[in-house]
């Protein structure tokens, strides 16, 4: 499975290199080959001592790597004018909140490219502090910092978090998301954090049906695609739970999800539900019944095979996302008689980035605990 994840990491990032070097007028093959050689070299250096305990300088190294990541995120946001970006995920959020604060129905807001926003209410509310700071893209920075704190808590050392952050640093797909101020990848970073905490705390539908229902309802109110990781992770627990616990989980999830829409339902039901570009249509137009059936079968099969091995669970989540996106794209290409290639503007390859946090986690090796680790002060 480790080899599958390494190949997945290479393929996703190579897609971004190929698509955007082609648009710049360069041949992508050379850049992809150089990138693959670079990645293989990095992996050799990073993982050759994967079973060794961390060194006394691990904490300092971690903060240096994290500082490089944070600095480059801020630098790209400073250098790139968002209005010149031909990706409107950031303005779908910014203009929604702008309308909200000015008493205009938020889901009628146009993006800076003339489109409409698809994020659900909780994801919009999450970005209000960053909007007030003047840049909704700061949600990325917040999520990365939160990730860095979480990784130290989750792993209990500094070496594994360092490896995780390094893999983000060398991922062109991640830096593309940063450059265009896309919210997609950090939506799934937060999803990964939430699922990991649930696993670490050993919460299940059997012992926390209401709490997990509320959590799922809130995440469902970001974007529908978070169903994939939560379904693969929680279905084993769901099948083991009693009917009462299953009922509480389902009802609480749906109730929380619906409650987040109630203000917008009373505000303008017609625009929310019957407008041709409402958020539900925008979030479901990429797939078809065929892809949904394949997705359900894949989730049902893989969710029953990770058997409390969380790295295997993360691997299955990433595989499911990649397969679902790939099949959706292939189906569209067939329907369009291959008039548009994967690298055309008709296909948004950033959907593959949803798998990256789970791929990177599954690639992060285990290390042997040591006296050095145990003697470190709590962060």
DSSP letter at 53 equals P
Q: Write the secondary structure of 165-212 as one string of H (helix), E (strand) and C (coil).
A: HHHHHCCHHHHHHHHCCCCHHHHHHHHHHHHHHHHHCCCCCCCCHHHH
- Tell me the pTM: 0.92
d(CA 309, CA 314): 9
Rg (CA), the chain: 21
Supply the pLDDT for residue 49.
60
- Let me know: does 256 contact 316? Beta carbons within 8 Å: no
Supply the pLDDT for residue 51.
56
With 0-12 CB in 10 A as exposed, 13-18 as middle and 19+ as buried, what is 315?
A: buried
- Let me know: does 43 contact 6? Beta carbons within 8 Å: yes
- Let me know: does 213 contact 234? Beta carbons within 8 Å: no
3-state secondary structure of 116: strand
d(CA 109, CA 309): 44
Supply the pLDDT for residue 171.
96
Kindly report the number of other CB atoms within 10 A of residue 263's CB atom.
11
d(CA 164, CA 363): 8
3-state secondary structure of 56: coil
Helices and strands of the chain, counted as H and E runs: 19, 0
The angle at the Cα of 120, spanning 325 to 89, to the nearest 5 degrees, equals 65
Instruction: Name the residue among 131, 137, 160, 138 with its Cα closest to residue 148.
Output: 160
Instruction: Name the residue among 282, 294, 348 with its Cα closest to residue 319.
Output: 294
How confident is the prediction along the chain (379 residues), in pLDDT tens digits per residue?
678 999 999 999 999 999 888 877 778 888 999 999 999 898 888 776 655 566 778 899 999 999 999 999 999 999 999 999 888 999 999 999 999 999 999 999 999 999 898 899 999 999 999 999 999 999 999 999 999 999 999 999 998 999 999 999 999 999 999 999 999 999 999 999 999 999 999 999 999 999 999 999 999 999 999 999 999 999 999 999 999 999 999 999 999 999 999 999 999 888 888 888 888 888 887 777 888 899 999 999 999 999 889 999 999 999 999 999 999 999 888 888 777 777 777 788 999 999 999 999 999 876 644 333 343 344 3
3-state secondary structure of 365: coil
Q: Where are the beta strands (DSSP E) in 75-156?
A: none
d(CA 149, CA 285): 36
């Amino acid at each position: 499975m480790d080899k599958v994840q390494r190949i997945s990491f290479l393929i996703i990032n190579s897609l971004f290199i190929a698509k955007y070097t082609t648009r710049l007028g360069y041949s992508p093959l050379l850049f992809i080959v150089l990138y693959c050689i670079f990645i293989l070299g990095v992996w050799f250096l990073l993982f050759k001592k994967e079973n060794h305990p961390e060194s006394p300088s691990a904490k300092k190294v971690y903060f240096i790597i994290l500082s490089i990541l944070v600095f480059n995120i801020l630098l790209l946001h400073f250098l790139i004018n968002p209005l010149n970006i031909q990706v409107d995920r950031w303005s779908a959020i910014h203009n929604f909140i702008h309308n909200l604060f000015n008493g205009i129905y938020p889901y009628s807001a146009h993006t800076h490219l003339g489109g409409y926003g698809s994020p659900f209410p909780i994801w919009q509310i999450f970005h209000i502090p960053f909007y007030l700071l003047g840049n909704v893209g700061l949600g990325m920075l917040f999520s990365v910092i939160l990730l860095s704190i979480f990784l130290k808590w989750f792993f209990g050392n500094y070496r594994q978090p360092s490896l995780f952050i390094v893999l983000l640093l060398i991922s062109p797909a991640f830096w593309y998301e940063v450059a265009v101020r896309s919210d997609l990848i950090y939506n799934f970073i937060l999803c990964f954090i939430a699922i990991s905490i649930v696993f670490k705390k050993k919460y299940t539908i059997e012992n926390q049906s209401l709490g997990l229902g509320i959590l799922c309802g809130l995440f469902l109110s970001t974007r529908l695609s978070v169903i994939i990781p939560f379904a693969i992770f929680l279905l084993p627990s769901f099948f083991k739970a009693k009917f009462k616990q299953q009922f509480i989980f389902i009802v609480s999830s749906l109730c929380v999800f619906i409650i987040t829409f109630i203000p917008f339902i009373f505000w303008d039901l017609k625009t929310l539900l019957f407008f041709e570009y409402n958020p539900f249509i925008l979030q479901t137009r990429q797939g078809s019944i065929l892809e949904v059936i394949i997705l359900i079968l894949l989730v049902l099969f893989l969710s029953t095979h990770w058997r409390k091995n969380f790295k295997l669970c993360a691997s299955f989540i990433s595989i499911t996302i990649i397969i679902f996106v790939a099949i959706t794209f292939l189906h569209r290409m067939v329907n369009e008689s291959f008039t548009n290639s994967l690298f055309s503007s008709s296909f948004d390859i950033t959907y593959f980035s949803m798998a990256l946090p789970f791929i990177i986690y599954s690639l992060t090796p285990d290390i042997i605990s040591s006296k050095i680790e145990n003697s470190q002060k709590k962060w």
